[in-house]
Every structure is written in structure tokens, then in C-alpha cells.
Chains A and B, each alone.
Chain A
Amino acid sequence: MANVMEIYQLLPKTNCKECGKSTCMAFAVDLLARKVKVDDCIPLVNEEKYKDNYEKLSEIIAPVGDVTETGLIVHDDKCIGCGNCVVACPVNVANDPQGAGSGKAPTSDKVIFKVEDGVVKARNVEECRRFGENKILCVACIDTCPTKAIEFV
């Protein structure tokens, strides 16, 4: 996973403010959190000299359809649909012990992870242990992923 400095190094570092942020560093922080898109940096998109950096950055910040409120991202292109996260997620186990928790297709609507068309989809993210008042830094879905297809930003 990329860090802020890596992202910053690939930006123009001119603090031109065209993106609406006061500094490139601020932009980098927001980019890491997926609050802005790579394409929001106008010079990076338009100027030939930044072409390489633009491509590299686009690769690092893999396009994601929607970042969930917990910051959970599933990289569809990396996911193999093994369902390890589906079965390992403690919320899935608690809400669907006989289905997802036992290795089978989820039988409850309250699961967070479910494999659809060969790729895992996240829903009910408000149930995620990383969310809400008593949040904890649960990593069950990340640690069990063979292809690093899940990240939290």
C-alpha cells in the first residue's frame, strides 16, 4: 500500500492550488484517503513532463468504484473470489454462523462480505468492527487475503 510520501513525490510539488488544496502535500493526504482523484491534479494530467508520474500514480491509486464509509476498498482486479474474507470476518461469523462462518455461501443479509461473480463485494459496512464508537483495528479480511485485494484507507 502506498504512503503519503510516495504519493507526494509523484505530484508536481508546485503548490499551484489548482486543485483547490493549499499544498501538494494536502492533496496527497486526500488522495490517499480517496477524497480526491488523481485526475483532480490538473497539471499532472495536462503537462507532458508529468506523464510518467501521472501513470505511476494512477497505478498506485487504483481506481475504486466507491470507498465505503469505513475506508474499505476491494480491488476487483486483484480479487480471486476465494472467499477467505467472507469466512474469516468476525461479523460474518457472528451474523451467519451456519452459512458464511462455516465456509458456505452466506445465508444472511447481514453479512459484510459476499462473493458475487467471482469478486468479493462489501455491504453493511456500518457493522464492520473498524466502524463506530467502539471501533477496533480488526484486520481479519486483510490478513487472510492471498492477493492483497482488500485495503483500508
Chain B
Amino acid sequence: MGFGQFLSSPEIKLKVVTFRDVFQNTAQESSRFGEDYCKLSAVIKLDPKDIVKLSIKEGETVIVKNKSGKVVVKAEGSESEESHTGIAYMVNSPWSNALVPDETGGSGVPSFKDFEVSVQGAKGERITSLRDIF
């Protein structure tokens, strides 16, 4: 599958906030290399309006990238009843950390919970595996 087919899909800029999820954390305790951990980590949760803007369907894969890195993850609608257009949620994991900028402005603390990315639909593209990240 070539990259060209995605050229037509719209790309939007979003801010990402990371969060903790007890189910993903439990999977991590069992095995960081397990399927469950990947399945529960390689996900971005989007506002329904942003899903429309991307012209994708829930459950399709998207490319999420910025200057720090690039990952292919599954797009899900967020359960949140409040609108959060322009903001996407990712669970704290190596997948989100691939996108966290390393600049700290001298503080020694990266912006784990507030960074910009661009997102583009990539239906059928394989989800980035833990091995691919490194």
C-alpha cells in the first residue's frame, strides 16, 4: 500500500492531552510486549467533529505526527459528552511518548500532557508496533 493514497485525506492539527487508563495499566503489568498493551495503547480519542473533519470512520487508523515522531494508531470517538474539538486524548504510553517534544525550556520536564500533532486518515495502514517505535 503506497503513501500516495493518503494524500487526498485531509490533515488537521490537534493538541494532545495524555491520560491514565487502569485497563491499559493492567495490561502493562502483565506484559509490555503483549497484544493487549498495544491494543489499549495505540489509540487516539477524537471529538466527533474532528472525526468528520478527517473524513474517517471510528476504528480506522490514522497517522499522528509532529517534529518529534510519527505513529500510526487507531482513531476512536471519545466517550466524553462535552465537545473538545481541536483536542485529542491519548493514553500515556510509548506511542504517545514518541510524539512528546524533548524541549523543556530548561525545566527538565517535557510537556507530556500538552503537545501539538497533525492527524491524517490512513485507512488500512498497519498500527505502529512497539518494535517499530525504536
Contact = CB atoms under 8 A, between A and B. Distances in A.
Interface of A: 80, 118
B1 interface: no
Contacts of B23: 80
Contacts of B26: 118
B22 interface: yes
Contacts, number: 3
Nearest to A82: B22
Interface residues of B, number: 3
Nearest to A146: B22
Contacts of A80: 22-23
Q: For the complex, would chain A's binding face be called helix, strand, loop or mixed by DSSP majority? A: loop
Interface in B1-46: 22-23, 26
A85 to B, nearest CB: 16
A80 B22 CA distance: 7
B19 to A, nearest CB: 14
Nearest to A147: B22
A118 B22 CA distance: 11
3 contacts: A80-B22, A80-B23, A118-B26
Contacts of A118: 26
B55 to A, nearest CB: 23
B67 to A, nearest CB: 36
Interface in B49-98: none
A151 B99 CA distance: 39
A118 B26 CA distance: 10
List 3 tightest A-B contacts by C-beta distance, closest first. Answer: A80-B22, A80-B23, A118-B26
Nearest to B26: A118
Contacts of B22: 80
A140 to B, nearest CB: 22
A135 B23 CA distance: 35
A80 B20 CA distance: 13
A70 B26 CA distance: 31
Nearest to B25: A80
